[in-house]
Amino acid sequence: MNSTKKPDLSIEKDLWSRGFKLIAGIDEVGRGPIAGPVVAAAVILKKDFFPIDIDDSKKISPLKRERLYHQILKKSYVGIGIGDVECIDTINILNATKYAMNIAYKKLAKKPDILLIDGNFEINSEIINVPVIKGDQKSISIAAASIIAKVVRDRIMNQFSHIFNKYTFNQHKGYPTKNHIDEIQKNGVLALHRSTFSPVSDIIKKN
């Protein structure tokens, strides 16, 4: 079935055949939460490293993500970009995502020839952009970037759970779960919360 199809190298092989040597897959994690940053990653996979078990980060277990995370770091060029809460509330989540993606690819050790971006938008870049809708389900490069971004963001949110111990950020990762909303209503809104996102904005107005 198509729903079980894993990302492959079809897009990359087509681009290689057209002369693009360094292909960067770019993805983000953290557009939906009501707390914490949006994290983007850019990954250029080396041609001798294409593990068949790479998949969209949302479809694999935390343990497997960690294992793949370390493999990707060792065998690829990786860049990471972060749009913090202030950035998100100031320029909106879409622009904060583009900002983080720009930082991510600019931190790569090698300049890519082309960018494969998960989504239906381009980023402000002098490099050719190729938006790929559901790219983390189609391109191994984008799927690898999704794994890096997911692990990095989860680690950040786990750290916040130690700093703000009345909030279980290690569990909900800042997403608007019932438990998270209950925590906000009981303990208040933190600077870590996105004030422009509902229900945070609604709670702020009521108080």
CATH of 2-206, one of 3.30.420.10, 3.30.2090.10, 3.30.70.640, 3.30.160.20: 3.30.420.10
Mean pLDDT of the residues in the chain: 94
Local confidence band at 51 (pLDDT 50, 70, 90 cut-offs)? low
Please answer whether residues 187 and 67 qualify as being in contact, where contact means their C-beta atoms are separated by less than 8 angstroms.
Answer: no
Local confidence band at 126 (pLDDT 50, 70, 90 cut-offs)? confident
pLDDT digits (tens, 9 = 90+) for 130-147: 999 999 999 999 999 999
pLDDT higher than threshold 90 for residue 4: no
Local confidence band at 124 (pLDDT 50, 70, 90 cut-offs)? confident
pLDDT higher than threshold 60 for residue 94: yes
Local confidence band at 207 (pLDDT 50, 70, 90 cut-offs)? confident
Q: How far is CA 159 from CA 37, 68, 195, in A?
A: 13, 21, 21
Model confidence, pTM: 0.94
- Which sequence spans correspond to the domains of the chain? 2-206
* pLDDT-above-70 percentage for the chain: 97
What pLDDT is attached to residue 2?
43
pLDDT digits (tens, 9 = 90+) for 16-44: 999 999 999 999 999 999 999 999 999 99
Burial of 19 (0-12, 13-18, 19+ CB in 10 A): exposed
123-159 burial code (b ≥16 CB/10 A, e <16): bebeeebbebeebbbbbbbbbbbbbbbbbbbbebbee
Q: Is the peptide bond before 131 cis (omega within 30 degrees of 0)?
A: no
Burial of 65 (0-12, 13-18, 19+ CB in 10 A): buried
pLDDT higher than threshold 60 for residue 1: no
Pairing of strands 114-118, 23-29: parallel
